[in-house]
Amino acid sequence: MMKNIIKKGLLAFSFAAALALSGCSTEVAEEPREIYTPVEIETTELGTLESTVTLSGRLSANEEVSLFPKAQGVVTSVNVKIGDAVEEGTVLFTIEQDDYARNTESALNSVQLAQKSVDQAANGLNSAKINFELNKEKIENAMLNLERTRILYEEGAVSKSQLEQAELSANALNLDVLKAQVTQAEIAYQQSLSQLEQARVGYDQAQSGLENTIVKSPIKGTVSALNVVQGQIATGAQVAATVVETDRVFLKVNVVENIVTKLSAGQKALISVPSVSDELIESTIEYVSPTADPRSQLYSVRIYIDNPTGSIKPGMTGEVTLTLESVENSIIVKSDAVLYDNGETYLFVVEGDKAVKRIVETGLDTGDHVEIKSGLKAGEKLIVQGQHYVADGGEVKVVRGE
């Protein structure tokens, strides 16, 4: 279009000059104007291009614990208030302990009695075994003596009464009786062990019940809710206290499927919390959900950040910028410099005072900038303004740029 305007101007000029010359032959004709297209250029260079997406989400505490009392009873003391910072193991409140203490003492007595029964049964078993071993040896000797006595009796060397006495001493039934005594002692010992175990279980339960009257914080954090009052009854039916850990918080965002495929744990992330500060916080993705939410069909992504001062509160809105694609050490140009026509992708560079058309292959395109994969080298003079008005080989004049 500009070329047409210039041509029309020249024709008008020539026509006017001809008229002037016909009217006054003494005037000197002006020289024709130079024909060129003014352009702006940039020198191409290697760089990095990233495709990013910015998403909003809610910040949540790293950990939030709701405490339900395991013991039921009257609250005897409340040691904290909402907003207090607590350590792991800090006593939050206590419940009346008298009944639990009595149960624990009774259970301990049962354990002690059961232990005595075990000791007695163990002694009885030990005595039965010793008695069995002693009498076993005697009976075995008596049986050997019986064999000799029978031989002597057959030879007429001993009387029948002596034989009968030897048979009585070697009676194996005596050994069976001793074996039965050992078996009964073993049964009694095992029963006493079982009773001891049951007593210990009862004691552990009673002791646990007593310990449950002292409600402690399981984590380091801040008391965010407290629903118990001294003198009132606490039950396990409702949350008594809530403790949140805010030294570390996380931003949760939900992404669609064509974005989640480009994200992974460890990937760089830049977070901003506008209500706290304008500064960006560098972090990395810690978790990418492997499955979509069945209702929203979105994938959950979590990014954690440190919050030592506690200035970031759970529930605040945050934004995160994530890199989806990235190329390095590549020719990066403004997207407007690239032209498309009849299936060709091209641009113009300046060589001398001429515009030269280059067919190029593009790569990553962010909308503002595009990667040139082939057809252009670093250090060339790329036309970034005026490219729509030049032709391959057309004369140009650099009016702006390097």
Under 8 Å between Cβ of 249 and 61: yes
Percent of the chain's residues with pLDDT above 90: 70
pLDDT tens per residue across span 115-138: 999 999 999 999 888 887 777 767
Percentage of the chain beyond pLDDT 70 is 86
Region 239-268 average pLDDT: 94
Q: Is the pLDDT of residue 173 over 70?
A: no
Average pLDDT over residues 277-302: 94
Tokens of 344: 């060709």
Q: Say what the pLDDT of residue 149 is.
A: 72
Could you tell me the pLDDT band of residue 166, with boundaries at 50, 70 and 90? low
Mean pLDDT score of the chain:
86
DSSP 279: S
- The H or E element spanning position 345 is strand 344-351
95-99, 177-181, 229-233, 388-392: range with lowest mean pLDDT: 177-181
Categorize the per-residue pLDDT at 31 as very low, low, confident or very high, splitting at 50, 70 and 90. low
Residue 303 scores a pLDDT above 50 = yes
Question: What is the C-alpha separation between 170 and 147, in angstroms, rounded?
Answer: 10
CA dihedral sign, ordered 337, 338, 340, 345: positive
Answer yes or no: pTM beyond 0.75. no
Q: Would strands 91-95 and 369-374 be described as parallel, antiparallel, or unpaired? A: unpaired
pLDDT higher than 90, residue 18: no
The answer to whether 51 and 325 are in contact (CB under 8 A) is: yes
392 has pLDDT over 90: yes
The beta-strand segments (E) located in 203-316 are 214-216, 221-226, 233-234, 241-255, 268-272, 281-288, 299-306
Q: Is the pLDDT of residue 309 over 50?
A: yes
pLDDT digits (tens, 9 = 90+) for 222-246: 999 999 999 999 988 889 999 999 8
The amino acid sitting at 62 is: N
Signed CA dihedral, 145, 148, 154, 155: sign only: negative
Amino acid identity of residue 221, one-letter, is: G
Q: How far apart are CA 212 and CA 100, in angstroms?
A: 9
* Calpha distance 241→67 (Å, rounded): 5
